[in-house]
Structure 1
């Protein structure tokens, strides 16, 4: 599975690369804080929806682009890793943010 470090993601954001971030945390956590900036398309689909994907609810992920990289994140990266594996099986181009939102916030404070 491809991974990206918070530092590498920040460089992409600062370069105004077109970025799609899938945050799989609960909606409340996402609303409180999520990765923003640059040309980021931020999407929130809670992990439980992705874990329970089947033919009946496959439309849940229909908002995700199939033609570009999707950076998957959660609080620490564990749930995001599982979600990324599921989406990869469905032919999405996924990359895991190492350490999740926690590592992202730590990186921003070190900057």
Structure 2
């Protein structure tokens, strides 16, 4: 599984590359704080929707592009890792944000 560090993500954002970020935390946590930069397409789908794919619910997730890299995150990376594996099995091009939102905040606060 591909992964990206907060620093690598920040560099990708600085290059003005279009970035898709899937945040699998609960909507309340997402609304409280999420990665929000100019060229980011931020998507919030709770992990239970992703887990349903593993259980045989093969309904497509219309908000996720099939042909673009999707960076998956959660609070610390554990749920995102499982979600990334499920999405990869369903032909999505996913990359895990190492350390999740917690690591992203620490990186941003340090810079």
* TM bracket (short chain): over 0.9
Instruction: Return the offset for 1:62.
Output: 2.0
Partner of 2:14: 14
1:82 equivalent in alignment to 2:82: yes
Measure the CA separation in 2 of the matches of 1:26 and 1:57: 21
Structure 2 residues not aligned, in runs of 5+? none
Verify the 8 A CA contact 1:24 1:74 in the aligned structure 2.
yes
Instruction: Return the offset for 1:11.
Output: 0.8
Partner of 1:91: 91
Partner of 1:102: 102
Q: Which runs of 4+ in 1 moved over 6 A?
A: none
Say how many residue pairs are matched. 110
Partner of 1:29: 29
Partner of 1:52: 52
Instruction: Return the offset for 1:56.
Output: 4.7
Partner of 2:64: 64
1:73 equivalent in alignment to 2:73: yes
Q: What TM-score, normalized to structure 2?
A: 0.94
Structure 1 residues not aligned, in runs of 5+? none
Q: What TM-score, normalized to structure 1?
A: 0.94
